[in-house]
């Protein structure tokens, strides 16, 4: 499927993304992260993130064929859909990891393709990203993984960056005893929480969470979901999440969007999921449970 064929775009883009995105930052010499402007704003009905008629093909295979989606400030929208339906491709297009073939992407009303590279990069710095499968650096201790973007992207000093890393690890329920361990010494659930700590390291206004609970047992899925809800609420971040875990979607989502045959075929409040009136959505959530990721 197209997303499998190009699936390593996450891995290839990790260093670039962590060096560029989401870091509105601790001042050198100080361990505190400046609160995002979104945390000081009153809720607005205007979309914080809007996708209009997004199109993306690989060769002759059309993956996205006019995706329309808007996210209000502070809400979490979960995209669901069958394997290969284009969920991760949509996220990659939003993040600039894949060029789009058509359509528009707006952040705070600003259309990204109309901006110069420097202004576009400045807007994209407002994103924090939890990559599919975590994408932690095996050779770096946990705290360096969390602080990677701070140090490599912004030049924040080691002492200040470590202080922030320890603070964010605590936010996701991990103590300082974990900080010096390597990712390989952690359980799958702990690795996911480290990846979440890295995503929130600079208090981003936007979060992209790609399969935040993939590969975890049901108990650990519930634990990680709790921390996702907690951190998103604390940040008041506008969040785009991708999962086919129905229980996860019910817990973390404000809204759910179903992607099928290149389009969003249903979009509604999570509480309306069981009465969507859409036959495909009903088959998906009641007949399939959790489908393979895509």
CA-atom Rg of the chain in angstroms:
18
pTM: 0.81
Query: Tens of pLDDT along 21-46?
Result: 544 433 333 333 333 333 333 445 67
Domain-wise residue ranges, the chain: 2-288
CA 272 – CA 193 distance, rounded (Å): 29
| DSSP state string for 162-201 | HHHHHHHHHHTT--GGGTTS-GGGS-HHHHHHHHHHHHTT
**What architecture is domain 2-288?**
3-Layer(aba) Sandwich (3.40)
For residues 50 and 57, is the Cβ–Cβ distance under 8 A?
A: no
- Please choose, from the candidates 133, 249, 129, the residue with its C-alpha nearest in 3D space to the C-alpha of residue 191: 133
pLDDT in the model for residue 213: 85
Per-residue pLDDT of the chain (294 residues; tens, 9 = 90+): 444 444 444 444 455 455 545 444 333 333 333 333 333 334 456 789 999 999 999 988 999 999 999 999 999 999 999 988 999 999 999 988 899 999 999 998 888 887 877 887 877 778 899 987 768 999 999 999 999 888 887 778 999 999 999 999 998 889 999 999 999 999 888 898 999 899 999 888 999 999 888 888 888 888 889 989 998 998 899 999 999 889 999 999 999 999 999 999 999 999 999 999 999 999 998 875 444 444
Give the strand pairing for 255-260 and 76-80. parallel
Query: Tens of pLDDT along 225-238?
Result: 998 999 899 889 99
């Amino acid at each position: 499927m197209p997303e499998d064929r190009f699936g390593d775009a996450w891995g290839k883009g990790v260093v670039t993304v962590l060096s560029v995105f989401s870091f509105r930052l601790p001042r050198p010499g100080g361990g505190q992260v400046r609160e995002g402007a979104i945390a000081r704003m009153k809720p607005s009905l205007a979309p914080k993130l809007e996708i209009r008629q997004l199109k993306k093909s690989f060769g002759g295979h059309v993956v996205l064929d006019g995706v329309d989606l808007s996210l209000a400030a502070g809400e979490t929208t979960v995209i669901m859909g069958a394997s290969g339906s284009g969920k991760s491709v949509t996220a990659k297009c939003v993040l600039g990891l894949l060029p789009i073939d058509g359509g528009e992407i707006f952040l705070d009303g600003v259309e990204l393709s109309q901006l110069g590279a420097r202004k576009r990069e400045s807007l994209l710095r407002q994103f924090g990203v939890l990559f599919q499968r975590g994408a932690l650096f095996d050779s770096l201790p946990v705290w360096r993984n969390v602080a990677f973007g701070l140090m490599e992207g912004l030049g924040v000093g080691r002492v200040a960056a470590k202080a922030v890393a320890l603070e964010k690890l605590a936010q996701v329920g991990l103590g300082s005893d974990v900080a010096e361990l390597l990712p390989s010494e952690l359980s799958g659930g702990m690795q996911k929480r480290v990846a979440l700590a890295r995503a929130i390291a600079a208090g981003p206004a936007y979060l992209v969470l790609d399969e935040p609970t993939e590969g975890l047992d049901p108990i650990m899925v519930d634990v990680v979901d709790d921390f996702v809800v907690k951190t998103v609420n604390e940040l008041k971040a506008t969040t785009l999440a991708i999962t086919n875990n129905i229980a996860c979607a019910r817990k973390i989502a404000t809204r759910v969007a179903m992607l099928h045959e290149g389009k969003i075929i249903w979009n509604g409040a999570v509480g309306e999921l069981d009465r969507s009136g859409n036959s495909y959505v009903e088959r998906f959530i009641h007949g399939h449970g959790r489908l393979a990721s895509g």
